[in-house]
Amino acid sequence: MSSLKISGAEAVIRSLIEEDVNLIYGYPGGAIMPIYDELYKFQDKLNHVLTRHEQGATHAAQGFSRVTGNVGVVMATSGPGATNLITGIADAQIDSTPMVCITGQVASHLLGTDAFQETDIIGISTPVTKWNCQVTKAVDIPIVLAKAFYIAKSGRPGPVLIDITKDAQFEMMEYSYKKCYSIRSYNPIPDYSLDMIKRASKLIDKAKKPFIVFGQGVILGNAEQEFKEFIEKTGIPAAWTILGLSALPTDHRLNVGMVGMHGNYGPNVLTNECDLLIAIGMRFDDRVTGNLSTYAKQAKIIHMEIDPAEINKNVECDVPILGNIKSTLPILKSLVKNNSHDNWLNEFLNYYNIEFSKVIDKEINPSKKGLTMAEVIKEINLSCKGNAIIVTDVGQHQMVTCRYAKFNKSKSNVTSGGLGTMGFALPAALGAKMGAPNREVVAVIGDGGYQMTIQELGTIFQTNSAVKIVVLNNDFLGMVRQWQQMFFEKRYASTELVNPDFVAIAKGYYIEADRVTKRKDLKSAVNKMIKSKKPYFLEVKVEKEDNVFPMIPTGASVSEIRLE
């Protein structure tokens, strides 16, 4: 490959183009100005989106990555610019989202001197990145960036941070680029054991009450079709974690709902009655398992997972199957017998009927005066027909949306799972819309989390991204208030909000906006929002003290799930 003499800053831009990057989210500043200057020269090849806060840039990159499967790219300056990325990086790490963050740094001779806007971003970001590296020589930039993209997207994906000193950005170098396809001692996809797959097939064929819990690994492995074929051959009921939602169509006959703290009644209770639990691409998070000492103790457990660190970390399994499930599931499918478990499936249906009469029907067809969050989601379902990407923040609205939203396509549920980041949804919805411009993107947000990144309305307006924003306003930090009501004797400490005029704020950003306070106006308002070809904001005033049920209290068993 012929070489080209250029600056380190230009090497950054050319390396991004070599990695097929065409979209960057970021915020300029002094220490990264040389890179931005070069970016200005390549505007025809790279679209840079100026967010209103660096945290917004990370969440936008996450939203883009989650709907496309591509690596999200973020740029920020040193000091506060870099530290403002940390929440989004931590969110991406725990939710396995591939992201490359490039930060500027003070000149190498100033490192460690407490220079203006100097922070040790390598030390700060080490616990929340898959890999990070500081570059002080221009010649290292192409090699390090190639390695960064490979690490971010290979195996179990995650965020990578590259910190580049200002002198390295100015320094001249002989540029050539070679993509990275392997790194010595790094094995992103572990070899699977055929013996373990055979053992698993025997357990599956023998089981009378098998149960599958699937997570985001199905989506990250692009194994939705393989997964669907596997469950249809075996006839095994399957339930999803929050991040696994949309890997299987919501209305599939073997899709029995959500597990976890606010999951469905049957999948939680019957976890402790199945004789075989097959965990596919999920990590046994505490919000899924409840009290580990009582979780599925009666069952044999098969765990299919790409990350060896997750095997036996929380739950001891009988048969671990390492590897990418896109490769291992077809082998397992070829070995198991055709089967059906209609009687067992009916047990899930019986529990669903109980949950429907005691919880669901009252939420989606309420007799109460005030609007419920669930009926808003019902109207969005009717208007979008299960084809929208729905982005949620964190709180009661998130649990209600995950419980009631309908999805026909994978990569349609975008939410902050493991970290639970308030403020995630608005910028993530922008990224999702830019990643899937031909799909409807609806952000469902609580009034608390909305105000944490509300400034990203400016980015949505400037990019003219047709994101539909729904704020479910109960004038409370609703999830915290629910816990205060149930476990702290209604001591509502610092959870009631005095909110601004959200409609006026949206209009201040030149975004069309409306407010719904009465049930009779809900359907027409939602339909008008969805039909709009531009960004649109809809505030819905909902019941102040509604709670989300079912619920597993902290420390309780999954079978102790409460319906009220």
What is the H or E stretch that residue 212 is in? strand 210-214
User: Residue 541 belongs to what H/E stretch?
Assistant: strand 536-541
How far is the CA of 354 from the CAs of 239, 307, 396, 399, 563, in angstroms? 18, 37, 22, 19, 9
Contact criterion met (CB below 8 Å) for 236 and 367 = no
Nearest-angstrom CA–CA distance, 430 and 176: 34
Query: Residue written as tokens 């070809």?
Result: 533
Reply yes or no on whether 149 is catalytic: no
In sequence order, which ranges of 451-551 are alpha helices (DSSP H)?
457-463, 478-487, 502-508, 522-531
Active site residue 305: no
The encoded tokens of residue 431 equal 């990224």
Which listed residue (45, 116, 178, 487) is catalytic? 116
Active site residue 117: yes
Question: Of 117, 455, 462, 485, which one is the catalytic site residue?
Answer: 117
SS3 100: strand
Q: Name the β-bridge partners of 541.
A: 473
Side-chain half-sphere CA neighbours of 242 within 13 A: 28
Of 63, 93, 90, 60, which Cα lies nearest the Cα of 74? 60
As a whole number of angstroms, the distance between CA 564 and CA 562 comes to 6
Annotated catalytic residue 116: yes
Query: What's the angle, vertex CA 208, arms to CA 244 and CA 349, rounded to 5?
Result: 55
Q: Are 454 and 424 in contact (CB under 8 A)?
A: no
**C-alpha span between 130 and 188 (Å, rounded):** 12
Alpha-carbon span 299 to 59, nearest angstrom: 38
Residue of 54, 171, 375, 539 marked active site: 54
Cis, peptide link before residue 190, omega less than 30° from 0: no
- C-alpha distances in angstroms, 130 versus 61, 79, 98, 143, 322? 16, 21, 9, 17, 19
Distance CA 84, CA 56 (A): 9
- Choosing from 75, 452, 479, 551, the catalytic residue is 479
Active site residue 549: no
Q: Could you tell me the CA-to-CA distances from 399 to 180, 242, 351 in Å, in that order?
A: 40, 9, 19
Catalytic residue among 130, 147, 153, 166: 166
Residues identified as active-site: 54, 116-117, 166, 479
